[in-house]
Amino acid sequence: EPEVTQTPSHQVTQMGQEVILRCVPISNHLYFYWYRQILGQKVEFLVSFYNNEISEKSEIFDDQFSVERPDGSNFTLKIRSTKLEDSAMYFCASAQYFGPGTRLTVL
């Protein structure tokens, strides 16, 4: 059964550093998403991506965030200058199917 994969599983970074989270969606899917979940809180929508461009984004997805699909398979989320409050689980979703997540810890 096709799966969404995400790397790395855990990323530790210093405040102010850039991070790139990677996802390989399910092939032949057209809609991709990034969500985040701060520990103990709800899953929050960040951005949706269709046809190589952003479809919708939330208030959280400010200028510090960007998404790309640089080739036919990878889908990335970049945070330019991380803040302490960016610490969370970041989930990529291919249509309605979630990847295992990347735990981002900002020190």
d(CA 85, CA 83): 5
Interface with other proteins includes 41 (CB under 8 A)? Answer: yes
Residue 9: burial class (beta carbons within 10 Å; 0-12, 13-18, 19+):
exposed
| Residue 51 interacting with other proteins (CB under 8 A) | no
Q: Does 91 bind other proteins (CB under 8 A)?
A: yes
Question: Rounded to whole angstroms, how far apart are CA atoms 90 and 97?
Answer: 14
Residue 101 interacting with other proteins (CB under 8 A) = yes
By CB under 8 A, tell whether 11 contacts other proteins: no
In the complex, the residues that contact other proteins under the rule CB under 8 A are 31, 33, 35, 41-45, 48, 50, 55-56, 58, 89, 91, 96-101
